[in-house]
Amino acid sequence: MRKLATIFLAGALLLGAGGTALASGGSAYVTSDCLYASLQDNTIVQGDAVYVWIKLTGSNTDVGQWSTVDNSGNVVQYGDLTAEDCVRGDGKYVLYLAEGFDSSTLGSYTLTAWQGEAFNSQAISGDGFRVVPGLA
């Protein structure tokens, strides 16, 4: 029963964050690197870094931290978003490194980008992605 409550709480937190993000007008897309053909990759190879394209619009003016929850709702991670030297769309989208994301565990995740501290500030937007095994 506790696991079910944890999943429900994590889902409610992310849904609340997503609703706030849509009202603010920002966007975030998970990708594997700056050179991926589109903004949204959503497949991260196990052990690799996670990057996030962020477009700030509306009341979203700052980028702070990221948070993730895995599909079980049991593994929550968070850390800083650090700007990389990569932009798209005439500078509208800036690439950020999700510092400290542990991509060693395979599975599906939901990432939320925040204006300040994760869970304690305005959410910018969120995106789902998978961590998949690398080629041996």
Reported as a single tens digit per residue, the pLDDT across 103-126 is: 999 999 999 999 999 999 989 999
Q: How much is the pTM?
A: 0.79
Q: What is the pLDDT of residue 19?
A: 35
Residue spans of the domains in the chain: they are: 2-130
* Domain 2-130 indexed as CATH 3.40.50: no
Closest CA to 94 of 49, 41, 31: 31
- The pLDDT, as a whole number, for residue 74 is 86
**What is the Cα–Cα distance from 76 to 124, expressed in whole angstroms?**
18
Residues of the chain with pLDDT under 50: 1-24
Helix or strand (DSSP H, E) at 84: strand 76-88
For residue 128, what pLDDT is reported?
95
SS3 breakdown of the chain: % helix, strand, coil, rounded to 5? 15, 40, 40
The pLDDT assigned to 10 comes to 43
